[in-house]
Structure 1
Amino acid sequence: MSLHNGLRIQVPDHLQERREPSEIEDIEMRKGQDRVTAQIEKTSQLITRVEEQLFSPWERLVDLLAEGYLIRLLQEQGISVFYTFQRLKDYSGKTNYEFDIIAQNGDEMVVVEVKTTLRSSDVKEFAYKMEKFREWLPRYAENTTYGAMAYIHSDSNVVRQAEKNGFFVIRATGNSASIVNQDGFKPKKF
C-alpha cells in the first residue's frame, strides 16, 4: 500500500521498488545454489550407476561370448563354428527382428539370444524367431542352424524350458560362461 495525494493505492509487489539483497542474503542464495548443484551431481551419479546396472551386464555378456567363449563352448559340443558377428537387425520395415550373436563357419551356425535375466516369455519369443529364421534370412536357408540362449540370471525352470525347445543354454558366471544343458541334450536343427 502506498499513499498518493491522500489516497491509498495498492501497488502490486512486482511493481514495488526492488532492493539489492544484503550480503547475508547473497551468501545464503549462493549456499542454496551450491546445495542444488551438489544434488544435481549426486542424482547424475545415481543415474549413471543405475544405467551401468541395467545395460552393462548385457553388454559384458555379449562381449564375453562374442570374443571367444562362445566359439570354444560350441566346439566342445561338436559344432565347428569359427567366427561371430553381433546384432543382426532388419531395417527393411517388412519384418521386425534382431539377433544378438550369430556364430558361423559357412555350413553350421548358432543363433544366440542374450538376456540379463532369462524369463519364460523370452524363450517363447526366441522360439518364434528361430521358426521364422529361414524365412527372414533366406541366404542362410542351406545352413544347419541351432539356437542358444545365454543369460546371467534366470527365473525358475526357464533353463529347462529353453532346453525343451531345443536350445543350447549358456550361463555366464563372472568372467566365464558354460553350457548348462543336461547330459544327453540334443539341440534342435532349425
Structure 2
Amino acid sequence: MSHHLLLTLGLVCLILLATPDGSFSSPARQNDLPDVVRIYDIQGEGLATSFAKQRLNTMGVVTGVTATGFYLQDPLGDDKPQTSDGIFVYTRTRPALRMGDCLLLQDVYVQEFYEKTELSELSSRSLQPGNFCGTGQVQPEPVPLPQLALDPALAYERVEGMVVALPPFTGVVQGPTKRFDGNEAEIS
C-alpha cells in the first residue's frame, strides 16, 4: 500500500466512541459547546496560527502528558491533510490528566513558541473535564507520518501535536527541531 494511500486512510478515519452498553455515541458538535474554536482551526493551514496572542475556548482528547503540559487532539478532525488536529498545552508542571480524558479548555492563550503553536495561561477554571467528546474515553487514531516534502517544516506542521504512526513506533510530533541540507529534518 502506498504512503499516500495510508496517509489518506489515516486522515479520513472516523472515530466512534463506545459506551459501556456497547452502543456508540459521537462527539459533541461545535454548536453544542460555548464559543469553541476547534484545534484544526487554531492550527490553520500555514506555518503559524492566525489566533496568536488571543484568548479562546477549545476542546479535545488528551493524547499525551509531559512534565510541563499535555497534548490535546480533536476527536474527529477536519479531514484536511493541510491542518493539524493536535496541539500542545503548556501548564508549567505535570497536570493530573490521563490519556483519553476529554477536556473543554476555557479562556486559554494562543501563542507560537519556537515555531510551534501552543496554548498556555490556564487558570484553575480553564480545565473542564467532561463528556464533550462523547461518552467513554477515546483516542484519536494515529495517522501515518507524511513523506518528507520539499519543505519539511510545512510537511511536519500538518501533524504538529498529533498522534502519528512511525512503523513500528507511535508518538507525538512537536514539529521539526532542526533542518539540514537535502530536505532532511529532525523531529521530536
Same fold (TM over 0.5): no
Q: Which has the higher strand share?
A: 2
Which is helix-richer, 1 or 2?
1
TM-score, length of structure 2 as denominator length: 0.28
Which protein has the larger Cα radius of gyration, Structure 1 or Structure 2?
1
TM-score, L = length of structure 1 = 0.28
Higher relative contact order (CA 8 A, sep 6+): 2
